[in-house]
Amino acid sequence: MSAARGDAPSAERAIIEAVLLDVDGTLIDSNDAHAQAWSDALREAGFEIGSEAVRPLVGMGSDKLLPELTSIEAESEEGKALVARRTEIFAKTYLPTIRPFPNARELLERLRADGFKLVVATSASDDELRGLLRALGAEWLLDDATSSGDADRSKPDPDIVRAAVDKTGVGPAACLMIGDTPYDVAAATQAGVRIVALRCGGWGDEDLKGAMAVFDDPAELMAHYDEVELFGRRERGPASAGARERKSGNEESLHVDGA
């Protein structure tokens, strides 16, 4: 664990009402799989770009990652074909193999039990997000989700985080984000949202500078949960009625916009 940093966003005295959650590399061990899927698709198209070159860009959306690697705009016809092929490769080859990080579901259960609203904030597409949430196996714990379809620009721009804040029904000062990349930190900071970062996505403390605290993974965050000041500055109570209704309803899946 790294101690809270002094360069976190302002309004540090606000009580946290909602937690925004990245998924890839934060709750699910999928960053390497994303990098390999991109490499596979690019090589099919004649670009000799290994996964090691893609890996530092995972966490950005395709609108930024693809032109960075190839100078091809994601919205061009060639770009759309590459993005579609990468999505297909990831879904068929890699998604069935990925698993949640240890204690990821338990972390969500604890946050839900403490009454926080939980909203996903990811650069993934709607279709991909549905698959990731199935792999996580905890859709019923989440209140809502934002994906690439909810924003004009992906991380590190703040659009997705701002959209997630809007879905919480509270302001950015009342939100806390959990993410794993410098792009999460930048997006949250620009949106005025404090962030706790996890190293399990492959980034180190210096890369995650700007986070209020850094932990290895969901398991370590769970072990130190009561030491995270912001989690403790809320009156604890039973899970919200919405969470109980979802659980009693046979743990029905979270609705993702566009589904």
* pLDDT bracket for residue 11 (50, 70, 90): very low
Q: What is the pLDDT of residue 240?
A: 40
User: Which amino acid appears at position 246 of this protein?
Assistant: R
Whether residue 24 is predicted with pLDDT greater than 60 in this model: the reply is yes
Average pLDDT of the chain is: 87
Last residue of a domain, one of 66, 97, 128: 97
CA–CA separation, 6 and 162 (whole Å) = 23
Same domain for 44 and 23, yes or no, is no
* Exposed/middle/buried for residue 179 (C-beta within 10 Å: 0-12, 13-18, 19+): buried
What's the rounded mean pLDDT across residues 71-89? Answer: 97
What's the rounded mean pLDDT across residues 237-252? Answer: 42
CATH code, domain carrying 123: 3.40.50.1000
Same domain for 221 and 115, yes or no, is yes
pTM for this one? 0.87
Same domain for 244 and 139, yes or no, is yes
The predicted-structure confidence for 151-178, as pLDDT tens digits, reads as follows 889 999 999 999 999 999 999 999 999 9
Domain-located, residue 226: yes
Q: What is the pLDDT of residue 2?
A: 65
Domain-located, residue 8: no
Q: Which domain holds residue 243?
A: 18-29+99-248
* pLDDT bracket for residue 122 (50, 70, 90): very high
The predicted-structure confidence for 176-210, as pLDDT tens digits, reads as follows 999 999 999 999 999 999 999 999 999 999 999 99
Residue 194 pairs in a beta bridge with 176
Same domain for 213 and 153, yes or no, is yes
End-to-end distance of the chain based on CA atoms, in angstroms? 38
Q: What is the pLDDT of residue 236?
A: 46
CATH code, domain carrying 83: 1.10.150
Please report where in the chains the tokens 């949430």 appear, as a residue.
133
